[in-house]
Structure 1
Amino acid sequence: MKALSYDLVPTVITITLLTILPIGYTKDITFSYTETSAQDNLTNTQPRVWDIKHYQDNTAVLRISRDNYFIGNTTRCFEQKLMLRVIQTNGSVIPINLDIIEEIQDINYCLVNDKRMIIDWNGYNISKIEFGPSYLLPGTNIWIPNDYLTVNPWIGFLRLSMIRGTNNFIWSQYAYYGDGLFSLLRNDTVENLDLTNIQVSVLPTLNYGYAIIYTNTNRNTADPLSKSGGLYVMFLNYNQTTTSQPFVLYEKSTQNVVFTRLACSIDYSHISYECVLIMEQEDPASINGINNTITSCIKIRFLSTGSRLKLDSIFNLTLTSFNTLPLGGYILISQKTALNSTVNFTVLLYDENSKPWEFLQQPIISNLASSYDILPNNTMLVSQNETTTTWNLLAINLPQLGPFNDSGYGNLHVNSTYPSKGSNDLSLNFNMIHIIYQEPVSLSDGYLTIYQIINRKNVLRQIINSKTCQCNISVTVIKINILSCTFNYPGGKYFIQIDNNFVKTESNEPLLGIQPNIWTFETANKSIGQNRSDTAYGILRLTTKGTQYFLELSDSKRHLFFDDLIKELTVMIPIEEGMLSSNEHYQLDPDDVTKFFISISIKETKDSDNMTTSEIKTNLDQLIKNKAYTGI
């Protein structure tokens, strides 16, 4: 889903990344870009990087804004133009500029939330999503509902919003149906929360659902021994109709606990979830009648079953953000504004056992927006101070701190594959692939999909579900039977995509898959060199539904039907144009009058690099018989 879902302020990018540096400590570099556009009512301020998001394939997306005016002394408003910059993996930049006044009202350019738009890389608005009425609190610029949003780039997104005048919030699943079409799928209400002291984090899960992690307190209880506050998680499956019961991750029985910060992320190294929670409580012991406040910070790791794996105390009580790192370990960041123009980042790195790891550059100087992001290739992007027309990013290469070496599949748990990534000598018509994992796995319920790249288009060759596949699994090795017609093209370029949850770990956690265009390889570019054969004639039978469709066509449209069918089969087999044809004759199947036979012929070829008519017939027969799993 190469679309952008833009939450006007703050930025939320809905996307399914920027290969700046190889993994390991190397010299940091700066990426600079000069803006050439301007707007008449600007205050002539510099373009500023206000947010950074990323795709899983290492493409970075930046929100660029210029200050325009202030409401009072606090609320910042921006130039009335939505400016996004897509930095591709080759370093080129796609500028996206939108200034549609009727679509984006003035107030959306100030630090408040309203509605979202789905736009493509050409800047076209392909979907508008109205979430219903929202309000400003009287006498303030605080927008209600205050909402949270997380994106699952394959299926849609989840929105979490407070309900005005209540102690409830509502979650809403929005589904993606392709071609920019989104719609509300399911929603439900979570009740009886202390919204005056709530911290929330929402995450996509590895089974294409969502996790809602939140704090809740029970103030002014008459029972001093009652549970007065804690951290809880709800898991929602895709298309789930009702709210799940929450799991308790942590509870504090002391009265008057105040939760001040919560940050959560997926731990791809351990295939779990981690949160850092900071809280304050009154110290029972007072000095000179003045109560002291005790601040504490904990890190919690847990599974999608709700089981808590580990709880650690952390002594960095000034942290402003927490991230698990794609290649293992985690990072704590503290930010401090200096002279109202820059932000100092203090960075602490830890390995999987919470052992400190030296960070070579302290502090990192950022721009006033202090925006940063960590890409899947372990590169940290930090916004830098801007000039009049130029914005800058610092790229810092973070070390690999996990238990497994990165084999280049975007998944630490994949050790190797056959065919290997990047190979170019795969035998034609081979019928088995291997995946070797770093640890024991078992089959789950996900898809493995094989594509051939033909004229820059991804052509589906075969799709396999782990529940129904002809697979053999032995501890860490999975062998998967493949149709012999899948890899039948000399010098063909292919890639294999694996969905999350194709396999699962020993603890039954869905395992991360492999993204498109990563596990790439080619068949051997060798002449087939077999004896040629004569032209072959045959018939194909339409399904009942296909026959009914064909009968409803006019004569001219039936001609187009045959023409399109030949073109599509030529790509799906695949063979050169002109080798397949039809005289466009058709007749009823005498054994089933609800279906039509249509004629087809395979032309003789004298080129030794082409498949013989017999091979084409065999491949076509196999594709049709397995049409539920192939491009047919």
Structure 2
Amino acid sequence: MKLNHISLFISLSIILLTLSSVKSSIIFEENQPLSAEILRVFNIDCYDDNTMVVRIVRKDPSKFHCFEEYLSIRTIYPNGTVKGFDLPSDTLNMQNMQPFNFCIPPKYSKANPLRFYPIKKNFLFITYAEADDITNPFTYNDWGIVIDLDGVIHSKIKLGPSDENGGIQQIVETVNIFPTGHPLETVATMDGGYALIYPNNTGLTGSKTISTTPLTPQFGIYFLLLGYEKGITQGPFVLYQTLTPINVLLLDCDFTYVGVGQTCIIIANSTQSDKTFIKIDFLSSGTVYNITTFQNINVTDYSIQSLRYGGYFTYYLVRNSDKKNFNIYGYILDYYEEGNSWSLLTTDLYKIEGERDHGYSILHINTTIPKIGDVIDPSETKFLIIKYYNKIILSPNRNITILQDDGTSHGIIRQITSISDNNGEFVKYIDDSTIEITVIDSTFNQPNAKYYILIDNGFVKNRNYQEPIISIQNSGWSFITKNTGSVSSKFNLKKKFKEVVNSTDIDGKVQLTTDGTSYFKSIKHDKIKRKEFFDNLRLELAKAIPVSSERITTSGRHQIDTTVSLEQYILSINIKKAKNKGERSVNSIAEDLNTLIKNKLITVIGSGSYSNYLDHEYGYE
């Protein structure tokens, strides 16, 4: 079904509930298709930089509980810009996206087979189901496609069999957690694994109580821990139990943005009128360290979500007297569960833990050096310093990455640092809550350039709880290098970037490791593979510096290093002189290349398919 547009426009109003004290809104006009059905916002999600992604739908009047068969995504950027795409049914049919994906299962009114998840910046992961026989649930398989925000499909992957009977398909095994009740929630844990969380009314079969033994739990929230790439399942563990059976209306789990570990929010009731909110805080190890409950008013349709800057947002729908429209009301809940009632259309959200927010998108970091937005002098920036609010310990094999902003979503990696047995002491403690990261000379080697820092989740742990801490996943911690004219005279950045035209070429050398030598010996008599090796090595080195690939050349020659006990080859790598004013001098490029190779364990030299073969002790000569 293609979307036939006519000149009629309708207004889709979306209130941008930004986590600040300022209310903002946007009016976006949608082309109305031939169908006269009302637009509905069905799902909303967001990236870490507060870019929102919205799926809009229209009801299909010819089918029960189904939408029109197209995928409409709208992206709302923090500056208010809106872009989007519409994939019609003929495009979706090419991915074998069958019509039932646009319907809501009658058993669970909040579910829909077609879902989207913001992943790497500018990409969405779309999941849906395919069935060989739609009447046979055992023929259903889950699939996923990666799609960008322009609607271009990049890849498709089979995820595994769909299962409505409590089976969870994992990479290496199927985990049965029968009996369970709805809903079944999955949450990533801070240690890199996953938790499957589910309710179980052990005392109920329909409306009849099975167990009459005093003090026997009649209801529980349980979870399984799945170790990532370990093939290990632990549990089930108990998160919460009661002596009376209750019905779970909503279960939502996520990282704890302010505290440590994960948090589950549960809305449940034991009668038609009483509703209980249950907040459970637990660690990746399975330890529950806090449970809070409170009662609330009689409303039938709730939803709830953790807020990045503290507290929780719960909202509900109330139908107007005209029976056509809804009012949306909600609560902002702090950690003591004191609600402030507000109208979604008129009242701002606020940051409950706003005093801890210093612009890093997380509430665990107090201060840094450099600060956000600083203009730095590379001659004086030999360390990054991070001070956390709480006492921390460093975790092995988790990275802090320094990138140069090149205008793309991925940047240019300048340095990757972690604590491990073989990369030196680049990360050290200053005190119990502060660390410093050594910066090598080649990292900030571009004047008037923007750099930013990414930190892996779990780079540090909370010392008291031994729980990984959520970290910086966007470019919020950024700063700029000075222009060459304002750099300290004791530093050679002026020299590096002064206009050099008449410098001569440098004929230099790099040395292969023993593994690199063995590989090169196996291909050196194959002219095609030999040329491919030199070409790819040259390109990887140019990208690592970074400099134009035309300035890194090679004669394609090699020689044997006779000064070492084991046979190692030395290769020709040359640097061409600058042709234009403003280009870097050959000496500055040679200095950076030498630094990059000597520190290859923390630079992209160590991750290159060919540059990884270079001997870090030899460097560039």
Q: Quote the residue 1:337 is aligned against.
A: 319
Whether 1:212 and 2:196 are equivalent positions in the alignment is yes
Report if aligned partners of 1:579, 1:604 keep a CA contact under 8 Å in 2.
yes
1:49 to 23, 38, 41: 41
Q: Please state how far the C-alpha of 1:31 moved relative to its aligned partner.
A: 3.3
With 118-127 and 46-55 compared, the bigger mean Cα shift is at 118-127
Q: What secondary structure sits across from 1:35 in the alignment? A: strand
1:81-121 C-alpha deviation (Å, 9 max, x unpaired): 22222223442313242422342222322224557799999
Distance, in Å, in 2 between the alignment partners of 1:129 and 1:46 is 24
User: Who is 1:3 aligned against?
Assistant: none
Paired residue secondary structure (2:589):
helix
In the alignment, the residues of structure 2 paired with residue 464 and residue 354 of structure 1 have an alpha-carbon distance, to the nearest angstrom, of: 41
More moved, 546-555 vs 470-479:
546-555
C-alpha separation in 2, matches of 1:132 and 1:548: 52
Who is 2:609 aligned against? none
Two-structure CA RMSD over aligned residues (Å): 4.2
Q: Is the 8 A contact 2:102 2:114 kept in 1?
A: no
CA distance in 2, matches of 1:122, 1:267: 22
Q: Which amino acid aligns with 1:26?
A: V
**Greater RCO (Cα-Cα under 8 Å, separation 6 or more):** 1
- Are residue 547 (structure 1) and residue 529 (structure 2) matched? no
Q: Does 1:462 align with 2:426?
A: no
Q: Map 1:164-563; keep pairs closer than 5 Å.
A: 169-173=166-170, 185-193=171-179, 195=180, 197-219=181-203, 220-221=210-211, 223-254=213-244, 256-281=245-270, 296-317=276-297, 318=299, 320-338=302-320, 339-357=322-340, 359=341, 361-362=342-343, 364=344, 397-402=348-353, 404-428=355-379, 430-445=381-396, 446-454=398-406, 456=408, 458-468=411-421, 470-473=426-429, 474-506=431-463, 507-526=465-484, 528-530=493-495, 535-542=505-512, 543-544=516-517, 546-548=519-521, 550-551=523-524, 553-555=526-528, 558-559=530-531, 561-563=533-535
- Separation in 2, partners of 1:267, 1:346: 24
Q: 1:376: which partner in 2?
A: none
Q: Give the secondary structure class of the aligned counterpart of 1:80.
A: coil
Distance 1:294 1:21 in 2: 29
564, 568, 572: which one aligns with 2:540: 568
Shift of 1:441: 1.4
Q: Is residue 2:613 matched to residue 1:623?
A: no
Question: Deviation at 1:45?
Answer: 2.0
Query: Structure 1 stretch 19-28 or stretch 338-347: which is displaced more?
Result: 19-28
Alignment of 1:26-41 (within 5 A): 26-35=22-31, 38=33
TM-score (norm 2): 0.75
1:187 is matched by which residue type in structure 2?
Answer: E
Contact 1:489 1:574 in 2 (8 A): no
Which of 102, 105, 112 aligns to 1:109? It is 102
Instruction: Check whether the contact 2:278–2:294 (CA below 8 A) recurs between aligned residues.
Output: yes
Shift in CA distance, 620/59, structure 1 to aligned 2, threshold 3 Å: same
Tell me by how many angstroms 1:320 deviates. Answer: 0.9
User: Structure 1 residues 419 and 552, CA, compared in 2 at 3 Å: closer, same or farther?
Assistant: farther
For structure 2, the 5+ residue unaligned runs are: 1-13, 106-111, 147-155, 204-209, 486-492, 606-621
- In 2, Cα distance between equivalents of 1:202 and 1:494: 35
Deviation at 1:501, TM superposition (A): 0.1
Amino acid in structure 2 at the alignment position of 1:61: V
Q: Structure 2 vs 1, CA of residues 19 and 427 (structure 1 numbering), >3 Å: closer, same or farther?
A: farther
Deviation digits for residues 589-618 of structure 1 (CA, Å, limit 9, x no counterpart): 455887543212234559896655444333
Q: Is the 8 A contact 2:130 2:141 kept in 1?
A: no
More strand by share: 1
Q: Is the 8 A contact 2:98 2:130 kept in 1?
A: no
Amino acid at match of 2:254: S
Q: Go from structure 1 to structure 2 and tell me whether the alpha carbon gap of 1:89 and 1:548 turns closer, same or farther (over 3 Å shift).
A: farther
C-alpha spacing 1:132/1:482, structure 2 compared with 1 (3 Å): farther
Q: Distance in 2 between matches of 1:107 and 1:215?
A: 27
Contact 1:148–1:202 (CA<8 Å) still a contact in 2? Answer: no
Q: Once the 2 structures are TM-superposed, how far is the Cα of residue 265 of structure 1 from its aligned partner?
A: 3.3
Instruction: Give SS of 1:245's match.
Output: strand
Q: Distance in 2 between matches of 1:534 and 1:342?
A: 75
SS for the counterpart of 2:596 is: helix
- Indicate conservation of the 8 Å contact 2:227/2:233, yes or no: no
Q: How high is the sequence identity, in percent, across the aligned residues?
A: 27
SS of residue matched to 1:244: strand
TM-score, length of structure 1 as denominator length: 0.74
Q: Deviations over 1:348-387 (max 9, x none)?
A: 2222232334x5x42x46xxxxxxxxxxxxxxxxxxxxxx
Find the counterpart in structure 2 of residue 385 from structure 1.
Answer: none
User: By how many angstroms is 1:403 displaced?
Assistant: 6.7
Q: Report whether the alignment pairs 1:69 with 2:26.
A: no
Report deviation, 1:504: 0.9
Which of 322-331 and 215-224 deviates more? 215-224
Q: State the partner residue of 1:24.
A: 20
Q: Which moved more, 1:89-98 or 1:115-124?
A: 115-124
* 2:370–2:376 contact (8 Å) kept in structure 1: no
CA drift at 1:209: 2.1
In 2, the alpha carbon distance for the partners of 1:270 and 1:58 equals 21
Q: CA 1:54–1:21 in structure 2 vs 1: closer, same or farther (change >3 Å)?
A: closer
C-alpha deviation, 1:550, in angstroms: 4.8
Structure 1 contact 160–171 (Cα < 8 Å) conserved: no
The structural deviation recorded for 1:226 is: 2.4
* Shift in CA distance, 624/222, structure 1 to aligned 2, threshold 3 Å: same
Structure 1 alignment gaps of length 5 or more = 1-17, 174-184, 283-291, 366-393
Distance 1:497 1:505 in 2: 19
Preserved contact between residue 185 and residue 198 of structure 2 (Cα < 8 Å):
yes
Offset, 1:129? 7.5
Q: 1:205 to 1:157 in 2, by over 3 A?
A: farther
Residues 1:250 and 1:106: Cα distance change in structure 2 (over 3 Å): closer
Shift of 1:435: 0.9
Change over 3 Å in CA distance of 1:248–1:135 after alignment to 2: farther
> Within 2, Cα distance between the matches of 1:536 and 1:323?
59
| Kept in 1: contact 2:97–2:129 (CA 8 A) | no
Greater displacement, 535-544 / 508-517: 535-544
**3-state DSSP of counterpart to 2:454:** strand
Give CA deviations for 1:131-165 in whole Å, capped at 9, x if unaligned.
7778658xxxx99989999x9xxxx999899856x
Is 2:414–2:603's contact at 8 Å kept on the other side of the alignment?
A: yes
> Which structure's residues are more often helix, by fraction?
2
Q: CA deviation at 1:192?
A: 3.8
Q: Rate the CA distance shift 1:187–1:31 in 2: closer, same or farther, 3 A.
A: farther
Q: Is the 8 Å Cα contact of residues 299 and 313 (structure 1) preserved in structure 2?
A: yes
Q: Write the deviation string for residues 447-503 of structure 1: whole angstroms up to 9, x where unpaired.
A: 111122346462221111234552222122111112222122222322111010000
Distance in structure 1 (CA, Å) of the matches to 2:20 and 2:124 = 39
Structure 1 residues 552 and 335: alpha-carbon distance in aligned structure 2, compared to 1, 3 A threshold: farther
Moved more, 256-265 or 479-488: 256-265
**Structure 1: which amino acid aligns with 2:520?**
T
Q: How many residues align?
A: 541
The separation in 1 between residues aligned to 2:511 and 2:233, in whole angstroms, is 48
